[in-house]
Amino acid sequence: MHRDSPSAVTALLRAATPLALMAPLAAQALSTSTQLSGGAGSVTPEPRLGVLDLELAGETLAGYPHFHYTRTFEIGKRVWMAIDPTRYPAFVGDTADIYVVAHQSVAQWIANGALIDARGAPTTFTFQPGTIQANTVTLDNGTLNADAGDSLGVPYDVVIDFDQDGLLGAGDAIDGFYGEPGFFVVEDPGQPGPHNVIETQYSGGSFLGQDTYYPANLLTLGQLPLVVISHGNGHDYRWYDHIGYHLASWGCIVMSHQNNTQPGPEAASVTTLTNTDYLLSNQHLIDNGALVGHIDATRIIWIGHSRGGEGVARAFNKVKTGAYVPVNYKAKDIALVSSIAPTEFLTVAQLTPFDVNYHMFVGASDSDVNGGPTTPIVQSTPIYERSVGDKTFHSIQGAGHADFHNQAGNCWCTGPSLIGKTGTHPVVLSNYLALIKHYTEGNVAARDYFERAYDDFHSASIPSNVIVAAEHKDAVGSGNFVIDDFQTNTGTATSSSGTAVTATVTNLVEALMQDLDSSFSWSAAVPMNGMCRAISGDVQRGAIFDFTTSSTYSVAVLPAQKDFSNDVALGFRACQGTRHPNTDSWNQPASFGVQLEDALGHLSTPIDFGWYGKLTRPYLRTGTGTGSGWANEFGTVRIPMESFTRHNPTFDLTQVVKIHFLFGSVGATLGRIGMDDIEIIAKGN
């Protein structure tokens, strides 16, 4: 999901100066540009080149809004291009050549506007009146090159050459002119990278045993990110070869260390901290100094499992608060902290991850740190909820506690449809690579693996029977506008931004996301049943309600925030309520509708977000009460803002006054739904 320009009239653009004469203008700072009306808003054409920069590449959807402009495609997957003729009416009737070209910067386009198609030849197409479906063109059937070495993604631009002269010039349209490319084609991040790997084991003394993995051609690679792995209680630091070899093959240095877990996570945090410092201080002693000069101590990733997962969260907390002062790195050097099925022995204050980029894996089949309501020790998710940095969460149905390492034996798992290590490891490896590439290299293609809905986009290496509930939320202060996160104005009639909330759903409650008894059995007395997202001392709140007929939940928009035309998406997260009669009756993944209303009372066409990916059915695990179903699994929904104007040019995105969530009439016909974090996603996120 990336930037999108509203509609345009291209006839005026075609009178612009030819590209060959534009280079002298490139240095000019133009303060004004022509605003062109197009019904769904206005567009500022690129004034120096006379070309229109807009979204083109994406994927088809089986239902309305019929097309999803996207950024990243795995090798072998089809790439489409589409134009909505109601937003771009001047395109209708024109015949153009459509090119897929290697991405270039603005300066490169000014220097050379020649169009060389990466497929061998352009596609010629005549734009049709009517629908976006009639103007959807296959750009590639999976043949484009994706080999970018140990980077992730080859960048391409899409150009509509209206005058068919083989040059990017005045009146043409391009996806990828400013900022990021039009799209990327990537190698499968679940497969090994291009580097052979060397593994070496050594010890610096008590709880300083280390198993390190690095690319065999390290001398040619410069400085690389450092990944530190902290095992759990009863585990061994040599049980993480799958992570070590995979990440090293993609250009990381990975060190898994002995972890002092028996006394508890506080001791484990110390061994994470000291082992990181030991490696950085003693590179010259390891493999005859092979690592010297190649570890980038400003790009450190901490991964921990079980007590080690709690330990890495605690370790960052200690560095951030000054409770521990490392020798060789600072809090700002920790690019990512990831906890795998972490315990929660320590206090809320000790386990607040602050603003670090934070990630968590849990297994819904975990019989050890089981995520149930009986004790906070086994509830991992409150740690995730406390993070105010970028944060990402994956709940893997069928995965047990021991499925995250590679040692054979008891899986510490229970429940139906167990997936074992063969199902769990591809989820772990592909997502770790994406997260690390994004947070250590700024790789924007990798972001799609955790920003888009899991059903919409994930590694092809993950078996088709694996079900994952995924969340992502941008950091507090990232520029997104929060309409309602349920943290303030805690009555059901007012959003946290101070606007009116109206609802016809039933049994609406706003409360702390804490299951207040020791059972997953459904009880009206415990409306947050299944919400193991907070413990005593936490503040994480949300809303929950049910419906059996056509119902609505509507939130008004502040007048100062009514212009959505320059925003990327409407975002929120939602879940199905476990063991509720409605959830049990629906008994499948769920979705519902979303609709905007403008100041003139125009309604956008309802969008069923299920076309992008649905909310998982709570994992059908028994125990901890009567019935089937485990902890509620949230999924993040992001609906591209431009989708609300699809085939609807009268709707005004600059004057949005209400957001309507539609239940019963769109998607699931009945259900129990939890909601949180309704926000407007700004450009750049």
Please give the pLDDT value at position 41.
34
Are 456 and 503 part of one and the same domain? no
Domain stop point among 447, 473, 499: 473
Question: Among 325, 345, 200, which Cα is nearest to 261's?
Answer: 345
Percentage of the chain exceeding pLDDT 90? 91
User: 378 and 335 share a domain?
Assistant: yes
Handedness of CA 260, 265, 271, 272 (dihedral sign): positive
Same domain for 467 and 508? Answer: no
Asked whether residue 237 carries a pLDDT value surpassing 90, the answer given is: yes
Task: Tell whether 202 and 134 lie within a shared domain.
Answer: no
In this predicted structure, what is the pLDDT of residue 16?
Answer: 33
The letter for the amino acid at 193 is G
Pairing of strands 358-363, 334-340: parallel
Domain-embedded: residue 415: yes
Query: Do the bridges between strand 541-547 and strand 72-74 make them parallel or antiparallel, or are there none, so unpaired?
Result: unpaired
On whether residue 4 sits in a domain, the answer given is no
Which CATH number does the domain housing residue 549 bear?
Answer: 2.60.120
Domain stops at, among 426, 454, 473: 473
Q: For residues 372 and 249, state if they share a domain.
A: yes
- The answer to whether the CB of 443 falls within 8 A of the CB of 162 is no
Please report which confidence band the pLDDT of residue 8 belongs to, taking 50, 70 and 90 as the band edges. Answer: very low
pLDDT of residue 36: 27
User: Mean pLDDT across the chain, nearest whole number?
Assistant: 92
Contact 113, 167 (CB under 8 A): yes
Q: Which range of residues forms the domain containing residue 85?
A: 10-186
**Residues 234, 111 within the same domain:** no
Q: What is the DSSP letter of 114?
A: B
The pLDDT of residue 468 is above 90: yes
Q: Is pLDDT of 380 > 70?
A: yes
Is residue 2 assigned to a domain? no
CATH number for the domain harbouring residue 469: 3.40.50.1820
Domain assignment present for 328:
yes
Instruction: Select from 413, 632, 625 the least CA-distant residue to 518.
Output: 625
Instruction: Report the pLDDT averaged over residues 157-184.
Output: 95
pLDDT tens, position by position, 612-627: 999 999 999 999 999 9
Average pLDDT of the residues in 115-119: 98
What is the pLDDT, as a whole number, of residue 49?
60
514/446 same-domain check: no
Half-sphere exposure of 271 (CA within 13 A, CB side): 34
140, 164, 186 — which closes off a domain? 186
Q: Is residue 290 part of a domain?
A: yes
Mean pLDDT score, 255-271: 98
pLDDT digits (tens, 9 = 90+) for 406-453: 999 999 999 999 999 999 999 999 999 999 999 999 999 999 999 999
Strands (E), 31-163: 36-37, 42-43, 52-53, 57-60, 67-69, 72-74, 79-82, 95-102, 123-126, 136-140, 154-161
> Are 276 and 256 in the same domain?
yes
* Mean pLDDT along residues 561-584: 97
pLDDT digits (tens, 9 = 90+) for 480-522: 999 999 999 999 999 999 999 999 999 999 999 999 999 999 9
Give the pLDDT band of residue 552 (cuts 50, 70, 90): very high
**In 257-376, which ranges are continuous DSSP H helix?**
265-281, 307-321
Same domain, 201 and 128: no
Residue 684, pLDDT score: 78
Considering the domain architecture, whether residues 239 and 290 belong to the same structural domain is answered as yes
- Classify residue 449: in a domain, yes or no: yes
In a domain, residue 218? The reply is yes
Tokens of 308: 């080690």
Please count the structural domains in the chain.
3
**Has residue 17 got a pLDDT over 70?**
no
Least confidently predicted of 168-172, 303-307, 528-532: 168-172
Instruction: For residue 451, tell me if it sits in a domain.
Output: yes
The rounded distance, in Å, linking the Cα atoms of 501 and 122 is 51
Same domain for 251 and 108: no
Average pLDDT over residues 344-352: 98
User: 266 and 229, same structural domain?
Assistant: yes
Residue 384 to residues 94, 352, 354, 380, Cα–Cα distance (Å):
51, 9, 10, 7
